Amino acid sequence: MTSLKGPGAAQQHDGSALRIGIVHARWNTSIIEALLAGTKSKLLAAGVKESNIVVQSVPGSWELPIACSKLYAASQVQSTTTSSLGAGDLLGSSTTDLTALSLSADGKSTTSSGPFDAIIAIGVLIKGETMHFEYIAESVSQGLMRVQLDTGVPLIFGLLTVLDEDQAKARAGVISGSHNHGEDWGAAAVELGVKKREWA
Ligand code: DLZ
């Protein structure tokens, strides 16, 4: 029986033609790493080519909306040129900051060009003792929705807003038997990416 929570029975979508961008925050890195791994595993399982997954990082969740917006804009500009935006997916490495968005052709021949079919924003906000969490959670959520509607690219909401570290671990598959929500985000990106092409 399908459980009440979650997106229902698994759907099959062919991701082999898709280009997917992922922007993740580096705050709460160990949780982020697990979520990122879960996300990528579902993308790859749906046929998305590794070379068509571009991963960028930013310091914290606050920076996710601007980074998603710029990443998408760069992929649109890039699609009108002959260069390709290459994949750079090492968490925290120098290849993942936004300077890697240079359009000066560091693309690989296996990487298709064109705007992203979907972008996944991943962050983990853990409530502290101040109002900081409330302000950031609200603003980032609004910001991500705004980028999604303004650009028309599906922007998958991979922002965990949790009360403590245990809640975060329980949503990142870190605690034994728990579900990794990154897998849902990867599957959602493929479904929405395919549908975006159908809707075009
Ligand atoms: C400052 C801050 C704090 C206190 N907590 C978090 C958090 O739990 N998760 C997260 O992703 N980022 C946090 N940040 C950093 C902010 O998102 C942002 O990067 C900085 O305020 C710089 O703009």
123 lines ligand 1 (CB under 6 A): yes
DSSP 45: H
**pLDDT value of residue 87:** 42
> Which distant-in-sequence residues (6+ apart) come within 8 Å of 93 by Cβ?
none
Query: Could you give the CA distance from residue 20 to residue 120 in angstroms, rounded to a whole number?
Result: 8
**pLDDT value of residue 81:** 53
- Can you tell me whether residue 81 is helix, strand or coil? coil
Active-site residue 132, yes or no? Answer: yes
Query: Could you give the CA distance from residue 74 to residue 190 in angstroms, rounded to a whole number?
Result: 20
165 lines ligand 1 (CB under 6 A): no
60 lines ligand 1 (CB under 6 A): yes
Q: Which member of 13, 132, 179, 181 is catalytic?
A: 132
Cα 60 to ligand 1 centre (Å): 5
Query: Which protein residue has the closest C-alpha to ligand 1 atom 5?
Result: 125
- Say if residues 5 and 182 touch (Cβ distance below 8 Å): no
59 lines ligand 1 (CB under 6 A): yes
**pLDDT value of residue 132:** 87
**In terms of Cα–Cα distance, which of 6, 4, 2, 1 is closest to 171?**
6
Query: Which protein residue has the closest C-alpha to ligand 1 atom 7?
Result: 125
Query: Could you give the CA distance from residue 143 to residue 158 in angstroms, rounded to a whole number?
Result: 13
140 lines ligand 1 (CB under 6 A): no
Domains and CATH numbers, the chain: 23-48+60-71+112-199 (3.40.50.960)
Query: Could you give the CA distance from residue 7 to residue 184 in angstroms, rounded to a whole number?
Result: 8
> Mind listing the pLDDT tens digit of every residue in the chain (200 residues)?
567 777 888 889 999 999 999 999 999 999 999 999 999 999 999 999 999 999 999 999 999 999 999 999 999 987 665 444 544 433 433 333 333 343 333 433 345 678 999 999 999 999 988 888 999 999 999 999 999 999 999 999 999 999 999 999 999 999 999 999 999 999 999 999 999 999 99
Query: Which protein residue has the closest C-alpha to ligand 1 atom 2?
Result: 60
**pTM for the full model?**
0.86
> Which distant-in-sequence residues (6+ apart) come within 8 Å of 37 by Cβ?
180, 182
